[in-house]
Chains A and B, each alone.
Chain A
Amino acid sequence: DAKTTQPPSMDCAEGRAANLPCNHSTISGNEYVYWYRQIHSQGPQYIIHGLKNNETNEMASLIITEDRKSSTLILPHATLRDTAVYYCIVSFHGSGNTGKLIFGQGTTLQVKP
């Protein structure tokens, strides 16, 4: 399984965009980049995923570099409720997938008023 590297913590002002980086230099061609977050004591919550194109949904945008070795999760207008640990995960999306998600230490995002 490919590994990811994320900064341990980041701060963001409420209402501003939060840009969370992730390095995944050993990602293979059939692995997707997933982002989940975990708000204190709750179960992880899926945010977004992508293969090589940029993706956007109602929660966030995902920018993946052309060489796929890194990505950035963007929360366009962070609120206090976005304070959480954010996990960047790479996972094989093919048949026979165990579904195992390797959760590293993630990035603790603190949104401040």
Chain B
Amino acid sequence: NAGVTQTPKFQVLKTGQSMTLQCAQDMNHEYMSWYRQDPGMGLRLIHYSVGAGITDQGEVPNGYNVSRSTTEDFPLRLLSAAPSQTSVYFCASSYSSRVGLYEQYFGPGTRLTVT
């Protein structure tokens, strides 16, 4: 298993540009999520999905869109990049059951700089 993969590893954008961060998992996990981590800070939840076709907002969703057309993929789209979105972005996935979620597996991260 490759686990959770993220592309690209690094990206530099100019203010106003849009782009999509890719996330894929091969563990057949129903739950997937996106976090951002600013320097010296903990992770904050952007969006999450409990299954294909279902997404919901986390605590910092503004400026980001997500979709979940397949179980494996959960892309994060930046609509119009701003310097405040300079951060490291982590995707995570988890097995879930009727009783809830289990341990979450994180990808290696995408380091985004917006100038």
Using CB atoms and an 8 Å cutoff, list the residues of chain A in contact with chain B: 34, 41-46, 49, 87, 91-95, 97-106
Q: Which of A87, A98, A106 contacts B48 (CB 8 A)?
A: A98
**Is B105 in contact with chain A by the CB < 8 A criterion?**
yes
Q: A45 contacts which chain B residues (CB < 8 A)?
A: 106
From known contacts A87-B42, A98-B58, A103-B42, infer whether A43 and B100 are also in contact, taking CB-CB under 8 Å.
no
**Is B107 in contact with chain A by the CB < 8 A criterion?**
yes
Q: A105 contacts which chain B residues (CB < 8 A)?
A: 42
The reply to whether A99 and B103 form a contact with Cβ atoms under 8 Å apart is no
The reply to whether A93 and B108 form a contact with Cβ atoms under 8 Å apart is no
Q: B56 contacts which chain A residues (CB < 8 A)?
A: 98
**Is B90 in contact with chain A by the CB < 8 A criterion?**
yes
Q: A94 contacts which chain B residues (CB < 8 A)?
A: 99-100
The reply to whether A104 and B99 form a contact with Cβ atoms under 8 Å apart is no
**Is B31 in contact with chain A by the CB < 8 A criterion?**
yes
Q: Which of B4, B35, B99 contacts A93 (CB 8 A)?
A: B99
From known contacts A42-B109, A46-B105, A49-B103, infer whether A99 and B94 are also in contact, taking CB-CB under 8 Å.
yes
The reply to whether A100 and B45 form a contact with Cβ atoms under 8 Å apart is yes
Q: A102 contacts which chain B residues (CB < 8 A)?
A: 42
The reply to whether A43 and B98 form a contact with Cβ atoms under 8 Å apart is no
Q: How far is the CA of A105 from the CA of B105 in the complex (A)?
A: 20
Q: Which residue of A lies closest to B97 (CB)?
A: A95
Q: Which of A92, A101, A103, A104 contacts B100 (CB 8 A)?
A: A92
From known contacts A99-B94, A100-B58, infer whether A106 and B42 are also in contact, taking CB-CB under 8 Å.
yes
CB of A62 to closest CB in B, whole Å: 13
CB of B90 to closest CB in A, whole Å: 5
**Is B28 in contact with chain A by the CB < 8 A criterion?**
no
Q: How far is the CA of A42 from the CA of B9 in the complex (A)?
A: 11
The reply to whether A101 and B43 form a contact with Cβ atoms under 8 Å apart is yes
The reply to whether A43 and B108 form a contact with Cβ atoms under 8 Å apart is yes
